[in-house]
A and B are shown apart, each in its own frame.
Chain A
Amino acid sequence: MGEFLGVALAVAAKDLRVERRSKTALVSALAFAVLTLVIFNFARDAASLSRTAMAPSVLWITFAFSGVIALNRSFTLERENAALDGLLMAPVSRGALFVGKYLANLAFVFAVETVALPLFVVFFGVDLRGAAGGVILVAVLATAGFVAVGTVFAAMTVRTRFAELMLPLLLLPFMLPPVTWAVQATARLLSGRPASEIAGWIRLLGLYDLVFITACLLVFPSLMDE
């Protein structure tokens, strides 16, 4: 178990170090997040649509698509110089490779969300007092699920010619449930509804994470073999 975790952390640290130097995924995902928030903010007809009605959907569109941009980069860096072959030749569990890539992807997407959330508050004038903890919990649960699935699909598509196109096509159907539940929960949190109304969505998100993170851990090793 110690060796498994050691390998996973080594892979995650390597990905984060590469990203810290190149800043490719982070900058493009952040630029997308800011652009989305700005466009939605100014495109809204204030007379017919209130900010609070639109805010949860905008937040999750921003999180979901900037997450896809970050995920796309995840295995693209393994394609350069066929570094993926180097990983696959290492005498380590494929599961540890998955956990390492997953942890790094989670860090990327959480970093983007950490920047996007305050911008969202500023642009949409949302009052997060009292709802911040709930919104963060929902963001963590929803992100944990779709990033796991995204990590597996990024690994699958990296060896295809159209990896950047294939990843969103494959991932979006699997992103729909957690993102939809997250929008529902966020809308209720921002409207100050009681916790009992949100508990169901939280449970669904937790269940999704449990099922899909386990499934991804089991499926990833066989995907890595030709």
Chain B
Amino acid sequence: MTGAPSPATSPLLHATSLERRFGAARVLRGISLTVSPGECHLIVGPNGAGKSTLLRILAGLARPNGGAVSLRGTVPGREPASRRAVGLLSHQSHLYDDLSAAENLAFAARLHGMPDPEGAARDRLAALGLLERADEPVRRLSRGLLQRVAIARALLHEPTLLLLDEPFTGLDPHATSQVTTMLRAELQRGAAVVLVSHEVREAWPLATHAYALIRGEWALAGPVAGSADQFLARYREAMDG
């Protein structure tokens, strides 16, 4: 007997045969990915492999030249509901330099229709230990603090899909541990995470699946098995091959 899969267990994100070209350059080739709630998919790859482009496509900020992405049956980015489901951390902070961390997050909370934008902003900043610097313009914050504010912004509206591009960049060990704990809590509440990172050892405890993206193609893909060092050894082999 079969029935429709329940929304809680069915895949949240389904990408099939994604292709992306910039002029003559093929940046992504035949990329497929299925992400279910509670899963963390770790993607590693050299610079220029197409990782950030892939995240932009999954977020709905860029369109693929081939293939398709479905987020709970909708095209990411097209409808407000699909945009509400996604939290994106990219290489750039999405923050306004002349506004404080609290003002930036309150503005984002307002756009997401949250009932108490200022309160939500302060709660999220407090969780990342940023409350003392909450009222300073973000242009005055260090690289690491800015990264934490950007992470707070991505997590603010409790998205069901987190797309994180290098979340550990610029963070000290304490902040890295704070972010890891926060991401673990997000996974436990049923969110799914697609995490692009060069910091494989930091991200490995969170990962349920690991991929190596090399020259726009999956060189390694599958559920996590073994240690981070073993995965890195296979990744280096794939790079050399």
Residues in A lying within 8 Å of B, measured CB to CB: 3, 6-7, 10, 14, 17-18, 21-22, 77, 80-83, 85-93, 225-226
Chain A residues, Cβ within 8 Å of B92: 81-82, 85
Chain B residues, Cβ within 8 Å of A22: 98
A86 touches B108 (CB 8 A): yes
B137 CB to closest chain A CB (Å) equals: 7
B143 is an interface residue with CB less than 8 A from chain A: no
Chain A residues, Cβ within 8 Å of B103: 17
B236 is an interface residue with CB less than 8 A from chain A: no
Name which residue of chain A comes closest to B56, CB basis: A85
> A83–B92 Cα gap in the complex (Å)?
8
B229 is an interface residue with CB less than 8 A from chain A: no
B197 is an interface residue with CB less than 8 A from chain A: no
Residues in B lying within 8 Å of A, measured CB to CB: 59-63, 77-78, 80-81, 83-84, 86, 88, 90, 92-99, 103, 107-108, 110-113, 137, 153
A16 CB to closest chain B CB (Å) equals: 11
Name which residue of chain B comes closest to A82, CB basis: B92
> A44–B153 Cα gap in the complex (Å)?
55
Name which residue of chain A comes closest to B110, CB basis: A10
A17 touches B99 (CB 8 A): yes
Chain A residues, Cβ within 8 Å of B93: 81-82
> A22–B94 Cα gap in the complex (Å)?
18
Name which residue of chain B comes closest to A18, CB basis: B98
A94 CB to closest chain B CB (Å) equals: 10
B94 touches A7 (CB 8 A): no
B112 touches A91 (CB 8 A): yes
Q: A10-B107, A81-B92, A85-B88 are in contact. Are A91 and B98 (CB under 8 A)?
A: no
B111 touches A83 (CB 8 A): no
B96 touches A83 (CB 8 A): yes
